[in-house]
Amino acid sequence: MTKQPDSSRQTKAGRKKSRLPAFCSLAGTLILLCVIGAFLPLTIPNLLGYQIYEVVSGSMEPEIPIGSVIYVKGTKPEEIREGEIIAFMRSSSVITHRVEENRFVEGEFITKGDANSQEDVMPVEYDSLIGKVTCHIPMLGTLMSILASGVGKLYAGAFAACGVMFHMLAEKIKERQKA
């Protein structure tokens, strides 16, 4: 009769020992998934042909708030319709405004920021077009700026290393439990 409680104690102790490696593996996996997940919205669209930009001015608010990320797909100028949002180059800056008119004959767009009271003074020539804004995600631009910086990349690398170390720790604990 006394052997039965001892064996049940050993079983409980064995279960406690086996939970720690599982916890370490789970923690490591979650950390790695978070690091990968943080970079996915910034990498996958690039592979699919989109260009990604952060919105730094309020000219398109409330539709596209400051700090948003916009995904821009290259489009032929002739395919752009009134009311669509485009990204274009002007004086080494990327600008995102809504098309008020597509002047096919002149090869230019008349644009306007949603928050602006008047149309843009200068038309946008077809050569300046980057593409059509197909999607925007509020606040992701702030994360993008952080991750794109040197310090952000350093932190992401450190977090990924922590995830790997948790997996290594789990393996070491398993080895010791077997011995």
pLDDT tens digits for range 118-143: 999 999 999 999 999 999 999 888 88
Token look-up 């999607």 returns 135
Min mean pLDDT across 8-17, 80-89, 138-147, 161-170 is at 8-17
Mean confidence (pLDDT) of the chain: 88
Higher per-residue pLDDT: 176 or 79: 79
Q: How confident is the model at residue 4 (pLDDT cuts 50, 70, 90)?
A: low
Alpha-carbon distance of 22 to 179, in angstroms, equals 18
Alpha-carbon distance of 92 to 74, in angstroms, equals 18
Q: Is the pLDDT of residue 2 over 90?
A: no
What pLDDT shows up at residue 59?
93
Of the segments 15-24, 46-55, 141-150, which one has the largest average pLDDT value?
46-55
Superfamily the domain 47-142 falls into: Umud Fragment, subunit A (2.10.109.10)
Residue pair 99/82 in contact by the 8 Å Cβ criterion: yes
